[in-house]
Amino acid sequence: MPETLVEVTDRVVVAGASGLIGRALVDSLRADGIAVTRLVRRPAEAADERAWDPGNAPLNPAILRGARAVVGLNGASIGRFPWTARYKRELLWSRLTPTQTLTAALGELGPEGPAFVSASAVGYYPSAPGAVLTEDSPRGDEFLSDLCGEWESAAQRAPGRVALLRTAPIVHPEGVLKPLMLLTNLGVSGPIGRGTQVWPWISLADEVRAIRHVIDSDLAGPVNLTGPARATANDLGFALARRMNRPYLLRAPEWAISLVLGRDATRSLLTGDMNVVPLALQTSGFTFTHPTVEDAVAAAVAA
């Protein structure tokens, strides 16, 4: 496929379009008549695809020229366990290398080039029981916090507007609900650790709507993509159990989870307490389709 494009005023370039968020974002953009260019790590097959090989070859900046925004969603799954030293390197490489490849191409276009909307995660923040975490809150000191910090630093090398999507776990059968639905269906779900720890969350629909809001607005810097209502691990677990008409009784102690998943993954994903609020979204006028975790579970899981 040629590496040049006819400029389309209303066009978005998406890297990581094959993932859960990427697929939903592409579908949403196309439904509204917005052209999408997908960057793929294989020979391009469709008219809207362009092949790239981050880490091995630079990206032709002509592919990005004329787009409204470039959205970077690349990254190996943090839901694969255990986080061995080797897999931690993969988690880092799979985020930094594509981001660096995109920022290098954007750098050749200069500050008048497309906005760069780069994925990050609420794992940036520390576990902070009782605190409210906004975009101005400090970074944590766990592995996932350091990963997010390096990821964001790489994205900020782009010369134009840069927005950093600190995304919460997605309430979806392919997201945070995947292991929980399995346990719930087997009738062995229950509190994880204390169960009272606050879990950030967001529905897939609101994740996509929020990304599009960021693209269309002047938002720059970190943007928390989280649901607006505080929810604990028990709130999510109970909502899922009710939706699936199953019990929610068996507690999984933190020490047992750590034996299986490892300390870093357990603290970062399951037992940490993080009340992350979407301040930047709300102050910029964004409204949520699914304002509570119960709404998000109902939208994601058939009764």
DSSP string, 100-159: HHHHHHHHHH-TTS-EEEEEEEGGGSPP-TT-EE-TTSPP-SSHHHHHHHHHHHHHTTSS
CB count within 10 Å of CB 130 equals 7
168 found inside a domain: yes
State the average pLDDT for the chain.
95
193 found inside a domain: yes
Tell me how many domains the chain contains.
1
273 found inside a domain: yes
pLDDT tens-place string over residues 258-294: 988 888 988 899 999 999 999 999 999 999 999 999 9
3 found inside a domain: no
Q: What is the CATH number of the domain that holds 117?
A: 3.40.50.720
255 found inside a domain: yes
Domain residues for 223?
11-300
295 found inside a domain: yes
Total-model pTM: 0.95
151 found inside a domain: yes
Tokens standing for residue 41:
């790590």
Question: At 25, which amino acid appears?
Answer: L
132 found inside a domain: yes
35 has pLDDT over 50: yes
